[in-house]
Amino acid sequence: MTHRRGVLTSIAAALTIIPMAAASAAPAAGGADYTKLEQKYQLLEKQMAGMAKQMSAMQKQQAALKATQAKTGATKTKAIDREVKRLYRRVVKASQKISELEPGNIQVLIAGDVNFQFQNIQGSHSTFYADSSPMIQVRIDKNIFINTAFDFYTQAGVAGGSAADIGAANINYELNNYMTLGGGLVTSPIGGIVGVYNPAPWNRWLVDGSVEDALLPGNELGVWTRGGLPAPARMGYLTYFLFVSNGPALARTTDQNGATYNNLQFGNWDPAAQNGKTIGGRFSYIPIPNIEIGYSFEWARPSADGAITTTNSLINAVDLNSYYVNKKIDGLFRFRGGWTWDQVGQGIDSTGTFSLGGMSNGGQLEVAYQPSLCGIKYLDRVMAAIRYDRIDGPVSSNFSNGASHEQRYSIGLDYWLHSNAVLKVEYEFDNLSNNMHGNNAMFLQFAVGI
Amino acid sequence: MTFITNKMTKSLAITAVAVGFLFIAGCAANKSTKTAAATSKPAVWPLTLKDPATTESGAQIWAENCMRCHELRSPSQYTPAQWGIIVQYMRLKAGLTGTQAKKVLAFLQSASAH
């Protein structure tokens, strides 16, 4: 009954506050409108008071009945229980109606991130680069949430030297404690890197990613269900994100030796270019808050390419995200890693079934350390980060020279001005198979999360 | 590729069942929270999931879980109303349960207001 009493107290408080707020807003509202609003409040207030009274009486009756349950019989107690529950639901609904009438209940927030960087990549001229990604987030009520994100950035070779993308446009409905339903354009959870724990430049330890650009979908356009739930026996939490979305297209490339490779092209939502739908998702287990282990998959029938009428593709990915903070190590240690394997399987054309032979793998390991508890001014804001990443398969323009894989070693130093503002310097060693050198690169970046 | 199709069909069936279970369990858990006093029976998994968040403080959930993915943002960076929007978004991103999100929000709003 404590919870019910709490609800009733909240309702009583709301009933006291809301008319005061409405009264203070009276001069701004039209006279007739305000009178109507006031009448509505008064009516609701009366209804609520009546119901609260009735419920209180029923609760007393229920307590008395329970005390003499043996004499009165279980059937009668159950009937009272049902009536109390019914009244409780009516009270909750009425309180929701009142909160919907409260001024300013739709809330809007502009968030996002901005960054600029200087980059010097071997084989290219050095250049400055800027990127701004505002997000507009709207809370319609306690259940409905809208997220829209854009990305504006400088780009060579386009009119005006800049380009814009839409990063998110989705509506979410919180169904219950463990499940949210949604639809629209959303960051893909596949691989965990982008959609879960590494969303924006200010939150990346190193500037230049590779696996997420080459092997993983950036966004999903479709419908989904996602949420978290406690693991059995109170052993941590499980999370899930399942979706049906527009699938990738099949991209065929031919190298200098004339070999044809097949890989997946994401983010092309033109119905003329693809008609296959994807089913995918990510599950993760969080045994303790410091560790998250994820598995994701995405299965699709990529769109037809030329004579190929049917094919299947399957992406699998595993990821690990963890941190350890302790005075013994004078600060914070972070570790993130993941591995993805994409398979484009058999194709069917007029001559029958044949193997497309498309298989791409890739992954990365990132380690970072920040002596945040060392007590030395300025040093406690410095983070050192190292990353190894590797891609196998026909997924990079570098591979046009016949290389079968690319691996990179990156080292970087970050200086955290705030929890959401960071200066970074990074150097990247790029190697291709057959002992060929890739394009080593240097980056300087200032990134801020809003 | 037939093997993938068969495997995927099985996976989809299992997934559909799992989602259905979550829907039912979630609704059951919601109901059990609302009527906790009326139903004195202990919660038994899987019919009603016992959320560890019920015994954790909002500050604890905030400090331990947010840190996993990004640096902790100070409660004073946003107003209580803004935290309402941010926590609703982060519930989605981090896969928090409703109970966890509510506790984190209560903590952040309280800390922000002071």
- DSSP assignment of A276-324, as one string? -EEEEEEEEEESSTTEEEEEEEEEE-PPPBTTB-EEEEEEEEEEEEEEE
Do A213 and A247 contact (CB within 8 A), yes or no? no
Residues B56 and B39 reside in one and the same domain: no
Nearest to A84 among B8, B38, B98 (CB): B38
Q: CB-based burial of residue B2 (10 Å sphere; 0-12 exposed, 13-18 middle, 19+ buried)?
A: exposed
For B:19-58, CB contacts with A below 8 A are 19, 22-23, 25-27, 29-30, 33-38, 45-46, 49-53
Q: What is the pLDDT of residue A158?
A: 74
B109: alpha, beta or left? (left if phi > 0; alpha if psi -120 to 50): alpha
Q: Using a CB-CB distance cutoff of 8 angstroms, which residues of chain B are in contact with residue A3?
A: 33-34, 36-37
Q: Using a CB-CB distance cutoff of 8 angstroms, which residues of chain A are in contact with residue B64?
A: 289-290
Do A193 and A166 contact (CB within 8 A), yes or no? no
pLDDT tens digits along A119-128: 999 988 999 9
Q: CA triplet B104, B107, B111: central angle to 5 degrees?
A: 140
How much is the pTM?
0.74
Residues B31 and B56 reside in one and the same domain: no
Residues B63 and B109 reside in one and the same domain: yes
Q: Using a CB-CB distance cutoff of 8 angstroms, which residues of chain B are in contact with residue A81?
A: 38
Q: What percent of chain B has pLDDT over 70?
A: 52
Residues B58 and B36 reside in one and the same domain: no
Q: Which whole number is the average pLDDT over B65-74? A: 90
Q: What is the pLDDT of residue A130?
A: 94
pLDDT tens digits along B72-110: 888 999 999 899 999 999 999 999 999 999 999 999 999
Residues B65 and B114 reside in one and the same domain: yes
**Contact yes or no for A242 and B97 at CB 8 A:** no
**Contact yes or no for B52 and A234 at CB 8 A:** yes
Q: How confident is the model at residue B18 (pLDDT cuts 50, 70, 90)?
A: low
For domain A108-449, give the fold.
Porin (2.40.160)
Q: What are the extents of the domains in chain A?
A: 2-101, 108-449
Q: What is the pLDDT of residue A214?
A: 75
Do B71 and A420 contact (CB within 8 A), yes or no? yes
- Domain extent, residue B104, equals 51-114
Kindly report the nearest CA distance between residue A167 and chain B, in angstroms.
Answer: 15
Q: What stretches in chain A show pLDDT beneath 50?
A: 1-29, 395-398
CA distance A381 to A431: 31
Q: What is the pLDDT of residue B41?
A: 41
Nearest to B98 among A176, A197, A239 (CB): A176
Do A62 and A76 contact (CB within 8 A), yes or no? no
CA distance A308 to A299: 18
Do A440 and A449 contact (CB within 8 A), yes or no? no
Number of domains in chain B: 2
Question: What's the complex ipTM?
Answer: 0.75
pLDDT tens digits along A37-70: 677 777 776 777 777 777 777 777 777 777 766 5
Residues B44 and B15 reside in one and the same domain: yes
Q: What is the pLDDT of residue B52?
A: 60
Residues B99 and B60 reside in one and the same domain: yes
Nearest CA in chain A to B23: A179
Enclosing H/E stretch for A15: helix A2-24
Q: What is the pLDDT of residue A374?
A: 93
